[in-house]
Structure 1
Amino acid sequence: MDIKTAAALHRLRLASIPEALSFPALLIFGTGFKLFLHYDALVFPLGMLHGVLFTIVVVLLLDAWNRTKWPWKRAAFFFVLAIVPFGGLYADKVLKREEEASVIAARARKEGVVNA
């Protein structure tokens, strides 16, 4: 892997945390307002914000999948983590390890330690 791959993984990590927190924070908050206070005005914008964050994660996941050459099962695993509430927090943990490994490999390759 190279630095561009590590950057793609980093972007995916940065987007996965807000998306993971947006489901419980935004949608449950907006639904609570709707059910208990009969105030519907927050449901649509908060739902849209969550949808935009999810779309960004999916686009960044496709970019990372293209750069890392993951098998489709690995990409599907990260997609499922994007759907599960708080799954993005686990995805961040896994992606952080992979990002660090790709940076170390790129630095070793640059210094001539590894010929791959």
Structure 2
Amino acid sequence: MIRLFRTIGLIEGLTTLALFLVAMPLKYWFDYPHLVPPVGMIHGVAFVVYLLAMVVCLWGTGFTAVQWLRTTVASFFPFGTFLNDPMLARHERAKAAA
């Protein structure tokens, strides 16, 4: 289940990049705002799925309160899901080895 959550985190992070590096520059620099609503909607859905998947996929996997907090906070910052992924990968490897 951690692998599924990592994949969802990757998708959430990629939608953030699409919004910040493609849609918003097109809106503000090239006066082309048409991509912001659909990309923003996709990112919003991905964000909600990330939060729901965090509870479903990580519940009962032995995460500490600090790891839960870190994973939650990571969803609120650009690139946070990418920075949190190595910790998730270590936890996934430890669970597989056990």
TM bucket normalised to smaller: 0.7 to 0.9
TM-score (norm: length of structure 1): 0.74
Per-residue CA deviations over 1:37-82 (Å, capped at 9, x if unaligned) read 2222111000011111111111111113422253444212101111
5 Å-filtered alignment, 1:101-112, equals: 101-105=94-98
Structure 2 CA distance for aligned equivalents of residues 80 and 28 of structure 1: 21
Per-residue deviation, 1:30: 1.1
Structure 2: segments with no counterpart, 5+ residues: none
Larger radius of gyration: 1
Q: Are 1:13 and 1:91, in contact at CA under 8 Å, matched by a contact in 2?
A: no
Structure 2 CA distance for aligned equivalents of residues 19 and 65 of structure 1: 16
TM-score (norm: length of structure 2): 0.85
Structure 1: segments with no counterpart, 5+ residues: 1-7, 106-116
Corresponding residue to 1:91 among 70, 73, 84: 84
| One-letter code aligned to 1:89 | F
- 2:76 pairs with 1:78: no
Alignment: residue pair count: 98
| Moved beyond 6 Å, runs of 4+ | none
